[in-house]
A and B are shown apart, each in its own frame.
Chain A
């Protein structure tokens, strides 16, 4: 025994150290890479995904051209082109949709794919994994947005208004992503707190439901009844879309009062949602540790 203990006494032969930030970053990056790899792994379905996006945009383009003339009066402040309006709407929605779903989805991935049990026992922990997957979600969203805009401009020759103001649009979208991201965190926390493990959770579902109807993705809020509009004004998405559209289609600048009001609304909602989200998510992680739902093996 003594000989063995002599052998066993820590002589610096052990390699594992607490993960420093370099390892962390590497892990996140590697996860992102392998997520992309996984996407392209099933080549057929990868191609189908891409074309699916395109088809989606085409359908709404035709719908828009079909009903455009009737819609025009409501679109005064967006340059009056329904096709452009709807294409942009879908593009933006895929972005904010990513920041709404990605937290929850990455958690589901880790849980059902048994990745958590490998990461939770490794020095980097599960946050590295989730970060990688979330990064990937945004990556996909970016690709689709790029496709949408490209199609809009190239094929359907949608013209962005005189001097489209991309800076403001980007600002609005980023603010929107932060605000919606807070809601996304809340959604992710429901995985453990409400045991919503089946790839669907009340928060995401409800917000998506409202977004589609009353936040002005497919049609301006003006066509809605009073109460519908009232609900719409509770969602951060509404302001983000409004500001971004105005910036791109009618070149509104940062000094434009409408833009200012939109942005300020977004910041306020971010201030509300993000702290709540972080708080709940931490609690959910602790709960997961307590009743062992961090991993499936049992």
Chain B
């Protein structure tokens, strides 16, 4: 008659697919939304690219390790940052979305496991950011002179970005856990906020760290993005692989690329388990004082 619910592998896969389908459906719900996003991408690139075009030769000297072309430098910076910031914010927004629509409780009593819940609610955003990246590349290459010259090593760049993405996901999980722990529901959580500030100011998305005062450069070394951007840019457009661009490079005799990779791996090893632990703690805490649902 009545049956206990079971979630075998096929059921889990089906659930995951349902999540993806739902996110894409919502995204494509507004037909022109797609075009609007693309236009946003365009203007986002254009502002910096135009400044870069004007700046041109004047800034070449400080960009030597990265091939000296500011337009390519800034556009690649934006692209890499897009990927990493997505993985930074996806878990947070996934949980928030479920929370504000009141779906959180219903999913919590459904037999799906917590990892499935987290990945399911955030996976759609990864898909979207990949599509955005494609458009960034297209615009950059066609309109704004993104030069992918020099000793190109795509594999290496992608590897670095992947590791960095993992590290960022860990940070993202920590941020998401704060929804429960300190009720950071205003659309910003302290961790993502601080990291975001550092990324904007001192990770070298828009300008090389060399123009910053020393202490800010050191601040930049506190977040994975800095290393990822540095290494990925070198492998995409870099020539002088051995030039030390981050203050931390000076401390080690190993090649900067090695240092970057080591740093990124270290970050992932710390952030991912920590983030996971915090998230579970958060859920537990929320169940303690009954704040899973929007209204107590």
Contact = CB atoms under 8 A, between A and B. Distances in A.
Whether chain A touches chain B in the assembled complex (some CB pair under 8 Å): yes
Given A67-B55, A205-B36, A212-B43, A44 B188 contact: yes
Interface in A25-58: 42, 44-46, 48, 51-52, 55-56, 58
B188 A65 contact: no
Given A48-B193, A209-B43, A65 B211 contact: yes
Given A44-B188, A55-B201, A62 B207 contact: yes
A247 B148 CA distance: 43
A2 interface: no
Chain A contact residues, majority secondary structure = helix
Contacts of B207: 62-63, 66
A44 B55 contact: no
B211 A70 contact: no
Chain B interface bracket (under 10, 10 to 19, 20 to 34, 35 or more)? 35 or more
A256 interface: no
B50 interface: yes
Interface residues of A, number: 30
A44 B43 contact: no
Interface string A184-228: 000000000000001010000100010011000011000110000
Contacts of A200: 36
A71 B188 contact: no
B58 interface: yes
Given A44-B184, A70-B58, A70-B59, A224 B50 contact: yes
A59 B51 contact: no
A63 to B, nearest CB: 5
Interface string B51-86: 111111111001000000010000000000000000
Interface of A: 42, 44-46, 48, 51-52, 55-56, 58-59, 62-63, 65-67, 69-71, 74, 198, 200, 205, 209, 212-213, 218-219, 223-224
16 contacts: A42-B185, A45-B187, A51-B193, A58-B201, A59-B201, A62-B207, A62-B211, A65-B211, A67-B55, A67-B70, A69-B58, A71-B55, A209-B39, A212-B47, A218-B51, A219-B47
